[in-house]
Amino acid sequence: MCIPFIISNVGLETYGLWAYIFISQGIGSLLVLGVSKSLIQNMAHKNDHFSYWFGVKRFLIFMLVCMVGVTLSVVLIFERSNVEMLGLTKLQSIQAIISFSLCCASALILDYSKGFFEAINKVYLAHTYSFLHTLVLYFSICVAVFLDADLVTMYLVASLSFFIIAVVSQSHIYVVFTRGIATSSVVSLKHILSQSRHFAGFDLLTSLVIPLNRLVIAASFGGGVSHGIFDIGLKLATSASGLLMAFSTHLHAHFRLMVAKGKDNFRLVKNMISFLFLLYLSGLTTFYFLSEFILNYIGLESSASEILFILLACIALTGVCEPALKALWSQGNAVLSFQIKVFQFVFNVILLLSLYDLGALLRVSLAYGIPLALGCSCYVFLFFSRYRNKS
């Protein structure tokens, strides 16, 4: 609901330039190094939850200290030199650097918090903080736009709002669950890190692929407008995917517990995928008939409907296939998901290079969407084929 207000006040090009802030969030998620998923994998079926968490929290603090050190070093370089960044003043450059650092740190902190909530089967809290992040982010930007803030200030306001939500999530964990009573954590941390490498590879490629495609649009002519349309398509598609994933967010911990007890999860995965696929088809059909109304509401031309539909069809499919991915993880097959993610990334790059005759926006949408849809379908195929082989 906020996007039409922002676009109507600052224009699609400025919105598209502001939306590049999500690249920094992707980089922050990259720095998680698979630890949050490894945390779920190890905590879900153990009674001794907090020894793992305190170990992970030490690693989180170490990463944040490193980020603060790097940020201060870069700020000092700009403060003591006449270097200009993208035509910005010295003050604006420092604000942009701080905004980038805050976004990265916030994504890192919030990812760890959500991993903790999922691991202790409090998935609704992970969803709550995701919702609060989106709500506070866009509310703060609407206020900044209303006050005629410039683009750099919009970046800073968004970064601060994101950081506040991330800090609140950590405070929630401290006050309600752990209360700061640290237990032995060094051995637990080593165990978490030893099992996080494949999750880290998965997260690394996941975090790189969208920034890569965003940068391709940025390098093209009219990048601001094109990126605005691409970002709106991502928002619409990831919202639809998020609705589907809401039914399966808890499944990683649940499947891990079932595996530990020797229970079969085939029927549950099959039923979940069938149910989610029906919702997926219903959503695509609804968008097809309401696309003109949606585009008019947002303030986009009808030519953007093709891009939005491609992104919606491909990205929302990840929500359908999520139960199969979580089942593979719970069975210790994280390496397979990493290999599929490598395939997606390589295929994405190949399509970006080979579809050069198409416009940048259509080329990026197809290059990002097609490998994503194929990769997600592979999760389902591998899960069912492995089950038949076991049977």
pLDDT tens-digit series, residues 129-173: 888 888 888 888 888 888 887 777 888 888 888 899 999 998 898
Alpha-carbon distance of 243 to 336, in angstroms, equals 25
pLDDT tens-digit series, residues 96-112: 888 888 888 888 888 88
Question: Which residues in the chain land under pLDDT 70?
Answer: 1, 17, 20-23, 25-26, 42-51, 82-89, 180-198, 221-224, 249, 253, 260, 389-391
Report pLDDT for 189: 65
Report pLDDT for 184: 54
Contact (CB, 8 A) for 350 and 294: no
Report pLDDT for 49: 58
Report pLDDT for 45: 53
pLDDT tens-digit series, residues 315-351: 999 989 988 888 888 777 778 888 888 899 999 999 9
Alpha-carbon distance of 364 to 217, in angstroms, equals 7
Contacts of 352 (CB under 8 A, 6+ apart): 213, 216, 363, 364, 367
Report pLDDT for 284: 92
Q: Would you list the DSSP string of 192-239?
A: HHHT-HHHHHHHHHHHHHHHHHHHHHHTSTTHHHHHHHHHHHHHHHHH
End-to-end CA distance of the chain: 49
Alpha-carbon distance of 54 to 272, in angstroms, equals 34
Place of tokens 């849809």: 373
Place of tokens 């517990």: 257
Place of tokens 């990259």: 30
Q: b/e string for 138-152 if b means 16 or more Cβ within 10 A?
A: bebbbebbeeebebb
Report pLDDT for 159: 86
pLDDT tens-digit series, residues 53-67: 777 788 888 888 988
